[in-house]
């Protein structure tokens, strides 16, 4: 469990996801940001490596049963703020998808909007992050990332 005391902590978690998240044989590193007291209220960031070898992250907010009451208010708030997303359908289920690349600032705005304006919790006090399929140090054969410090502007 990782606390999110400030925007920098959130950005560091995303950077760790990109540099140390596994991306091999169908195993993908992810970072779940959730409400500490109610982990089902969440958004999941997933690592990707594009065909050129550049790594980044996406996010998804599926219209699961638990999210039904939040889905439309979140979409309306994204539209009101003119934040970029794509509505997709996977196995018959709608989801809001976000393609961030390495834009930690854009990811921060989307996450803070969801938690503070839709879930009505304090992002930096009430939320935490959990990694899945992330290694302790960069191992290029697992992460697909050979230069983890390059490309962060």
pLDDT of 28 > 70? The answer is yes
pLDDT tens by residue, 97-124: 999 999 999 999 999 999 999 999 999 9
0.85 exceeded by the pTM? yes
Among candidate residues 84, 106, 103, 97, the one with its CA nearest the CA of residue 151: 103
Burial of 93 (0-12, 13-18, 19+ CB in 10 A): exposed
pLDDT tens by residue, 118-129: 999 999 999 999
- Segment 15-22 shows an average pLDDT of 89
H-helix or E-strand spanning residue 72: helix 68-80
pLDDT of residue 90: 81
Question: What one-character DSSP code corresponds to residue 81?
Answer: T
């Amino acid at each position: 469990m990782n606390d999110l005391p400030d925007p920098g902590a959130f950005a560091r978690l995303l950077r760790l996801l990109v540099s140390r998240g596994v991306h091999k044989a169908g195993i993908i590193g992810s970072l779940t940001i959730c409400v500490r007291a109610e982990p089902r209220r969440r958004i999941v960031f997933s690592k990707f490596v594009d065909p050129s070898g550049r790594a980044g992250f996406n996010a998804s907010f599926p219209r699961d049963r638990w999210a039904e009451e939040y889905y439309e208010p979140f979409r309306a708030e994204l539209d009101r703020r003119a934040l970029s997303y794509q509505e997709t359908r996977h196995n018959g289920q709608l989801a809001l998808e976000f393609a961030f690349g390495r834009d930690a600032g854009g990811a921060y705005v989307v996450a803070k909007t969801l938690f503070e304006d839709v879930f009505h919790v304090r992002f930096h006090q009430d939320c935490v992050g959990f990694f899945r399929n992330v290694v302790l140090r960069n191992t290029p054969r697992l992460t697909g990332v050979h230069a983890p410090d390059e490309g962060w502007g």
